[in-house]
Amino acid sequence: MKEFKFRVWDKVKRTMLRPQAITFDIQSLAPFAVSVPGRSWEPVGKFDLLQWTGLSDTKGKEVYEGDFIKIAGTIYRVTWSQAAAGFELVEVGDSGNRSIVDVGMGILVGNQFENSDLVH
């Protein structure tokens, strides 16, 4: 069975957290609430949910949606592609794309929330 992992960006406290649990609406299957350490259940709208890609960089660090990966001097952002129904690497500041499997050739250099300076 596929392993699902998430981390969450707290939009209010502006910090990255590992959720203890996420509840989903039974009918729509949409995320409903998030439980993070030291706090009670909170509405999912307070957070950005970021899914693990199932892959790691060259140093073994898990790569999540929204992360920045550097491959051969070029920085890419990990994004979800609705059209491809999967994750892909989109070149920062350009329109180039790479396959998500190329993550294993790169190094994790940050994420879109804590390292937005990498976008410019």
12-24, pLDDT tens digit by residue? 999 999 999 999 9
User: What per-residue confidence (pLDDT) applies to 1?
Assistant: 57
Q: In this predicted model, which residue has the larger pLDDT, 118 or 49?
A: 49
Main-chain dihedrals φ then ψ at residue 41, nearest 5 degrees? -60, 135
The pLDDT tens digits of the residues spanning 54-111 come to 999 999 999 999 999 999 999 999 999 998 899 999 999 887 889 999 999 999 999 9
Q: Are 28 and 13 in contact (CB under 8 A)?
A: no
Predicted TM-score (pTM) of the model is 0.88
Residue 37 tokens, joined: 């350490």
In this prediction, residue 7 has a pLDDT band, given cuts at 50, 70 and 90, of very high
What domains sit in the chain, N to C, each tagged with a CATH number?
6-119 (2.30.30.290)
